[in-house]
A and B are shown apart, each in its own frame.
Chain A
Amino acid sequence: MSEPEAPSAGGATPVPPSRSEAPDLRGRRSFLRGALGAAGIAAGAAGAAAGYGYRASQATAPGQAATDAAAAGRRPAVPFHGKHQAAIVLESQPQTAVVSFNVTAQGRAELTELFQTLTDRARFLTGGGIPPPVGISAPPSDSGVLGPTVVPDGLTVTVGVGASLFDDRYGLAARRPAVLTAMQSFPDDDLDPGQCGGDLSLQLSAGHADVLLHALRDIARHTRGGMQAAWRIDGFASPARPSGSTPRNLMGFMDGIANPSVAAPAQMDSLVWVQPGARGEPAWTSGGSYQAIRLIRMFVEFWDRVAITEQENMIGRRRDTGAPLDASSEFAIPDYTLDPSGAVIPLTAHIRLANPRTPQSRDSRILRRAYNSDRGVDAVGDLDMGLIFTCYQQDIKRQFEAVQKRLIGEPLVDYISPFGGGYFFALPGVVDSNDYYGRALLA
């Protein structure tokens, strides 16, 4: 939950042989069968208008300026290639979709093909462009949801693999990341197996929901035989209110104030990225990161019936400003040494348990990427809202699980209920146009 104290980056013609009545072509091609008598005329092909272009050598069509202008209000493309997957170090985007897949590919060759296809689609979708024409060879190559030109809109694609991928199906058992297991069930959890785990996690984030759904449909269309969606949840990140602060979760509290700094390579290397040669980790994992996804229901109606002081004592921060209870500004560091008995920030406050800020707890900090979720109505008519908690770390036991264990029994648990999610290993980045997700894993 609102575990603050993690290390911050903010985060014709067919006239078919006639049946009794006029043939029904369901509208297709019927135009050509019309009886309009036309004199000998011609349709004309006006000259080759050089492309809306993705070939730099060609002239720019007149419409291009307008296209650029229309795209201006959108987020720029996030570079796809890199040592690490891009979204991990980016602040939460306005919209996200988290989908867990089970891999149905048969054998290592099909698995490799799946990862190559995923890479190709992610590369295209994050960069944008005009989908290729198909002539009379197939239905359109693109859903058209974004119009004729696919805009990047900041789309990021994050791919992780679950422990189950390392079973006996693909001969990968010896390459399982050292501390990757199925997600543990904690005492305050109420997990639904149908919304837990999976062979592969896919998180898409972008500026707008249409871009996400376009990407999801495209990826699914190209990988149907290789993987099948097991569960899915959509989320959003609220804008900072007031501006400049950390976005709020649906309990009204700022969430993720104290992340480690993604701009500080030392922090990232000691907390987030698996390092070359680390503790029994297979070599391919270098540059990747453990990903914990927790789907958490928030009982917002119950929460809204709780006095503000009690709410703030449970979190350890002021709701309005985000300031720790012992300070007056959002980014102030709580000083627990001055408050050993919890007179100001209760010993059971969420932020204090999650990150006690002791020398011993330093290396359990995590990089949080939280999104809010809103999924309709439950059986008693309450709103089904919550949090898609995602965090990255170089050791899921040393970090996420250690934090989670400190939170067992915190007062906040009455207002939340973790029901799903999973542990995954976010693959190292795709470094260039010849690389693909998991190349070193599958080599």
Chain B
Amino acid sequence: MSTGACGTGWSQVAAGMQTFQIHNSSTAGAEVDLINPADGGIYAEVEALGPGTTRPMRVDVGSGRYAFRCLIEDTDALTGPTVRVAGHVKGAAAILPVTTDDLLAPAREYHAYVTGGLSTLVGQTGALAAAIRSGHLATARTAWLAAHLTYERLGAAYGTFGNYDTEIDGRPDGLHGGVSSPEFTGFYRVEYGLWHGQSATELAGPAGQLDQDVRALQAAFPGMEIDLLDLGLRTHEILENALEFQLTGHDDYGSGTTLATTEANVEGTFELLKVLHPLLAARYRQLPAVYTWLDRLQGLVAAARHPNGSWTPVDDLGPSGREQINAAASQALEELAPIAVISEPRRTR
């Protein structure tokens, strides 16, 4: 292709599976989309195409209108000629790209949700620290669970929290000395002590530190921005973590509440879906399946909660109950995975 031209190397194409060879003859990196010129919906994209390189783009072409749009960095978008495929052949559907602008409102909404959650959280970590200071360890155990679940409901924000998250919800993995390491802090440190016979005196430090870290996070959060890319990514990453660390029992440091954590993570996922729903409704055909499986997972997990507020540890579920939960969580993850791809912010101009 020559300078100033985009996708002019074709004038007709047959319906069916096609492979286009996309060559970038410019001197800058580019993204090339095959779009429906009527509404800008994207059939296929090639991202980060380096100067002088060629990459294939496979598309199931159906009846309709097609054009290439070239997005060279620091250059306005260039759309090539429209090619029409006649007939009534069903091909791949185009999906409207999500832009940075589209994500600003969801990000604001999510920011407000986290702000509200942090305000609840500081009250709860304060109560936890106070219970430990006064030597009421049974009260502290109840307070610990409430506070931890509030934090876990914020799941989408952990990338934003940065080091605060390590301090507040970090694991002993990789620390020299493991659970005895002085660097092991936060919810899991306090859990370990509360359920391994450590004294109030021993736990006052870690609980006070946790409360202090949560307050520092609350103070810093108004200045933190939610990464727009994270909104989509976290829709599956929250539960990826739940599957890896909670449903395996890895993050059970004594309380046996990893199913409670999983439920909190499902709630966090629902919140993200809520803020993204306006963008997803028209773009993700399988969105109802996401809710079907999250609802099933939530119902199965909630059944592990006893009337007195305690939870069944995953290892006590019995094989069949555990398989049901694992199945619902894994299927929910499969249904959630496309959201990150669909809601990745894309350039259109």
A: residues with CB less than 8 A from B are 12-20, 23-26, 28-29, 31-55, 57-58, 61, 102, 104, 106, 130, 132-139, 221, 224-228, 230
B95: contacting residue among A12, A46, A104, A135, CB under 8 A: A135
Bound CA span A224–B26, Å:
45
A32→B71 contact, CB < 8 A: yes
Bound CA span A230–B318, Å:
12
Interface assignment of B275: CB less than 8 Å from any CB of chain A: no
Q: Which residue of A lies closest to B292 (CB)?
A: A225
B94→A135 contact, CB < 8 A: yes
A25-B229, A32-B347 as given contacts; A20 in contact with B223, CB under 8 Å: yes
**CB within 8 Å of A: which B197-236 residues:** 223-230
Interface assignment of B72: CB less than 8 Å from any CB of chain A: yes
Bound CA span A26–B22, Å:
25
Bound CA span A50–B13, Å:
9
A230→B319 contact, CB < 8 A: yes
Bound CA span A132–B16, Å:
11
Q: Which residue of B lies closest to A164 (CB)?
A: B320
Bound CA span A139–B235, Å:
14
Specify which chain A residues have a CB less than 8 angstroms from the CB of B7 in the assembled complex: 44-45
B327→A225 contact, CB < 8 A: yes
Interface assignment of B5: CB less than 8 Å from any CB of chain A: yes
A48→B47 contact, CB < 8 A: no
A32→B10 contact, CB < 8 A: no
B319→A44 contact, CB < 8 A: no
B73→A138 contact, CB < 8 A: no
Bound CA span A35–B293, Å:
43
Specify which chain B residues have a CB less than 8 angstroms from the CB of A45 in the assembled complex: 1, 6-10, 20-23, 32, 34, 57, 68, 80
Q: Which residue of B lies closest to A13 (CB)?
A: B347
B223→A43 contact, CB < 8 A: no
**CB within 8 Å of A: which B27-83 residues:** 27-32, 34, 42-45, 47-51, 54, 56-60, 68, 70-75, 78, 80
- Whole-angstrom distance from the CB of B194 to the nearest CB of chain A? 32
Specify which chain B residues have a CB less than 8 angstroms from the CB of A53 in the assembled complex: 17
A12-B345, A44-B7 as given contacts; A34 in contact with B29, CB under 8 Å: yes
Bound CA span A342–B43, Å:
75
B48→A32 contact, CB < 8 A: yes
Specify which chain A residues have a CB less than 8 angstroms from the CB of B229 in the assembled complex: 14, 16, 25-26, 28-29
A23→B17 contact, CB < 8 A: no
A46-B9, A47-B10, A137-B338 as given contacts; A36 in contact with B78, CB under 8 Å: no
Which of A15, A47, A226 has the most B CB atoms < 10 Å from its CB? A47
B337: contacting residue among A37, A52, A57, A139, CB under 8 A: A139
Which of B5, B25, B28 has the most A CB atoms < 10 Å from its CB? B28
Interface assignment of B341: CB less than 8 Å from any CB of chain A: yes
Interface assignment of B18: CB less than 8 Å from any CB of chain A: yes
A133: contacting residue among B23, B59, B344, CB under 8 A: B59
A32→B31 contact, CB < 8 A: yes
Which of A43, A44, A227 has the most B CB atoms < 10 Å from its CB? A43
Bound CA span A41–B78, Å:
9
- Whole-angstrom distance from the CB of A391 to the nearest CB of chain B? 27
Specify which chain A residues have a CB less than 8 angstroms from the CB of B16 in the assembled complex: 51, 55, 57-58
Interface assignment of B312: CB less than 8 Å from any CB of chain A: no
12 inter-chain pairs at a CB distance below 8 angstroms, sorted by A residue, are: A16-B229, A19-B227, A28-B229, A31-B47, A36-B28, A37-B74, A38-B75, A41-B75, A44-B25, A134-B341, A137-B341, A137-B342
A136: contacting residue among B4, B49, B95, B107, CB under 8 A: B95
Specify which chain A residues have a CB less than 8 angstroms from the CB of B342 in the assembled complex: 136-138
A50→B1 contact, CB < 8 A: no
A135: contacting residue among B43, B78, B107, CB under 8 A: B43
B93→A12 contact, CB < 8 A: no
Bound CA span A23–B227, Å:
8
- Whole-angstrom distance from the CB of A178 to the nearest CB of chain B? 26
A41→B27 contact, CB < 8 A: yes
A32-B73, A42-B26, A44-B7 as given contacts; A225 in contact with B293, CB under 8 Å: yes
Bound CA span A36–B107, Å:
29
A38-B75, A58-B16, A221-B334 as given contacts; A43 in contact with B24, CB under 8 Å: yes
Specify which chain A residues have a CB less than 8 angstroms from the CB of B94 in the assembled complex: 135
Bound CA span A137–B96, Å:
10
Interface assignment of B103: CB less than 8 Å from any CB of chain A: yes
Interface assignment of B119: CB less than 8 Å from any CB of chain A: no
User: Which are the 9 A-B pairs with shortest beta-carbon distances?
Assistant: A44-B1, A38-B28, A41-B26, A225-B331, A14-B345, A104-B327, A31-B48, A45-B7, A224-B330
Bound CA span A347–B7, Å:
81
List 13 additional contacts besides A29-B345, A43-B6, A224-B334; criterion CB under 8 Å. A14-B229, A29-B47, A35-B74, A36-B74, A38-B26, A42-B3, A42-B6, A48-B10, A48-B18, A49-B21, A137-B284, A137-B342, A225-B327
A43→B49 contact, CB < 8 A: yes
Bound CA span A54–B230, Å:
37
Bound CA span A230–B324, Å:
12
Interface assignment of B346: CB less than 8 Å from any CB of chain A: yes
Specify which chain A residues have a CB less than 8 angstroms from the CB of B327 in the assembled complex: 104, 224-228
Specify which chain B residues have a CB less than 8 angstroms from the CB of A54 in the assembled complex: 17
B19: contacting residue among A51, A139, A230, CB under 8 A: A51
Interface assignment of B14: CB less than 8 Å from any CB of chain A: yes
Interface assignment of B121: CB less than 8 Å from any CB of chain A: no
Interface assignment of B326: CB less than 8 Å from any CB of chain A: yes
A102: contacting residue among B2, B71, B323, CB under 8 A: B323
- Whole-angstrom distance from the CB of A232 to the nearest CB of chain B? 14
- Whole-angstrom distance from the CB of B14 to the nearest CB of chain A? 7
- Whole-angstrom distance from the CB of B189 to the nearest CB of chain A? 27
Per-residue contact bits, chain B 164-191, to A (CB 8 Å; 1 contact, 0 not): 0000000000000000000000000000
Specify which chain A residues have a CB less than 8 angstroms from the CB of B224 in the assembled complex: 19
Interface assignment of B248: CB less than 8 Å from any CB of chain A: no
A17-B225, A230-B319 as given contacts; A43 in contact with B1, CB under 8 Å: yes
B28: contacting residue among A41, A51, A57, CB under 8 A: A41
A44→B6 contact, CB < 8 A: yes
B4: contacting residue among A26, A40, A135, A228, CB under 8 A: A40
Bound CA span A53–B18, Å:
9
A12-B345, A23-B227, A135-B94 as given contacts; A224 in contact with B331, CB under 8 Å: yes
Interface assignment of B86: CB less than 8 Å from any CB of chain A: no
Bound CA span A335–B26, Å:
82
- Whole-angstrom distance from the CB of A357 to the nearest CB of chain B? 43
B23→A43 contact, CB < 8 A: yes
B25→A136 contact, CB < 8 A: no
Specify which chain A residues have a CB less than 8 angstroms from the CB of B60 in the assembled complex: 132-133
- Whole-angstrom distance from the CB of B311 to the nearest CB of chain A? 21
Which of A33, A41, A224 has the most B CB atoms < 10 Å from its CB? A41
B24→A16 contact, CB < 8 A: no
**CB within 8 Å of A: which B93-143 residues:** 93-95, 97, 100, 103-104, 107
B323→A17 contact, CB < 8 A: no
Bound CA span A227–B326, Å:
10
A43: contacting residue among B13, B26, B43, B323, CB under 8 A: B26
B14→A58 contact, CB < 8 A: yes
